[in-house]
Structure 1
Amino acid sequence: MRADAQRNIDSLLEAAKTVFGTSGVDAPAKEIADLAGVGVGTLYRHFPQRSDLVKAVFQREVDACADAAPALTAAHQPGAALAKWLHRYTEFLATKRGLAAALHSGDPAFDALPGYFMQRLGPALGSLLEAATASGEIRADTSSKDLLYAVANLCLPMADEGVAYSQRMVALLIDGLRYGADTSGTSARSNSTV
């Protein structure tokens, strides 16, 4: 793919993420194209159906969240890396709010997305969770699936509350993960399923 075509796609995906977050997935194509700095024809050339664009935005955000795990692992202690990733995941969920209506619409174009979500985010979180458990920083009875769903439930939209509220709720969850941790630094993961 030519560099200018890839730039257009990247601009369209970023613009769509922003517009979906503020105006919903049914926002006019022109609003997305204008924000991306391209024509509507360019939008439709790369994403012929609205569902193509929604799917691409969702997958891009899932990939970015999953890809953050190794970088956080390299830069931070295991417990801090896990906490930072969970906050990054919370930001992803805030972005997904604009996509939620489409993703739960029953459109068969979106049928594979829940599997994609778990396939990418489950292992990313699992590696962080395993390292934090092995270091004794968090309790050993939590699975990545449980944690993904727990954070998602904490991030359900509430009237008059935004991402900052969700971040505070996730911080409380992280504190709860520390309760009962093996402070000796040698944790057995006998009760955990990652």
Structure 2
Amino acid sequence: MTRRPRADATRNREHLLVAATRLFASAETEPSMRAIANEAGVGIATLYRHFPTRESLVDAVYRGQVSRLTASAGELLTHLDPPAALRRWMDLFGDWIATKNGMLDTLLAMIESGEIAHAHTRTELLAAIDHILEAGRTSGELRADVSAEDIAAALIGIFTVAGSPERAAMAARLLNLLMDGLQTDH
């Protein structure tokens, strides 16, 4: 029988994931494991007890971010109309892209080695976009001739040119323009 982790161990793991996510999002280059442990308020041994390698930490952060991003599509639709839900999801996508910046080298190596299945992530993200699009098509608020792939390509383009924090206003403007083109005259 497997024992559940102690409450403090679970809390430490969560603190590490939150700290790593925050540092990955704000870093120009990959932060050190020690910097992540310090940010989480734990010792380096605690970090390595939970994540024995940089790859295991990057994998946990990456998978957690993808899960939150994909789950948010349905959650947003519970309290926002489809256009507002899609626009908010686009902001969350931008946050996800920013988080990847500080772990990009490790992430790319993991994708290349097959440790992370990029195609699976893409499928999950496209399904999340399609979920919101379908709700918008049904309500008549979003165009029926736009695919999830179209939106994903537009988002990647926007965040490629305006993904840095100093270009946040430009990204918001471009996302609003994209949304204007996605909505029907309804």
- TM-score of Structure 1 vs Structure 2, range by shorter chain: 0.7 to 0.9
Out of 108, 116, 119, the position equivalent to 2:120 is 116
| Map of 2:62 onto structure 1 | 58
Q: CA deviation at 1:75?
A: 0.3
Tell me: CA distance 1:146–1:136, structure 2 relative to 1, closer, same or farther (3 Å).
same
| Map of 1:75 onto structure 2 | 79
| Map of 1:14 onto structure 2 | 18
| Map of 1:34 onto structure 2 | 38
Task: Please state whether the residue corresponding to 1:59 is helix, strand or coil.
Answer: helix
Tell me: CA distance 1:166–1:97, structure 2 relative to 1, closer, same or farther (3 Å).
farther
After TM superposition, the score normalised by the length of structure 1 is 0.82
Tell me: CA distance 1:8–1:116, structure 2 relative to 1, closer, same or farther (3 Å).
farther
Matches within 5 A, 1:100-111: 100-105=104-109, 108=112, 111=115
2:155 matches 1:151: yes
In the alignment, the residues of structure 2 paired with residue 113 and residue 167 of structure 1 have an alpha-carbon distance, to the nearest angstrom, of 30
| Map of 1:174 onto structure 2 | 179
Task: Kindly provide the amino acid, as one letter, of the partner of residue 178 in structure 2.
Answer: L
How many residues are paired up?
Answer: 181
In the alignment, the residues of structure 2 paired with residue 119 and residue 150 of structure 1 have an alpha-carbon distance, to the nearest angstrom, of 16
Query: Runs of 4 or more off by more than 6 Å in structure 1?
Result: none
How high is the sequence identity, in percent, across the aligned residues? 36
Task: Kindly provide the amino acid, as one letter, of the partner of residue 163 in structure 1.
Answer: A
Q: Which moved more, 1:150-159 or 1:8-17?
A: 150-159
The gaps in structure 1 that reach 5 residues or longer are 184-194
Task: Kindly provide the amino acid, as one letter, of the partner of residue 173 in structure 1.
Answer: L
**Cα RMSD for the two superposed structures:** 2.3
In the alignment, the residues of structure 1 paired with residue 169 and residue 69 of structure 2 have an alpha-carbon distance, to the nearest angstrom, of 18
Q: CA deviation at 1:165?
A: 2.6
The gaps in structure 2 that reach 5 residues or longer are none
Larger helix share, 1 or 2: 2
In the alignment, the residues of structure 1 paired with residue 52 and residue 113 of structure 2 have an alpha-carbon distance, to the nearest angstrom, of 13
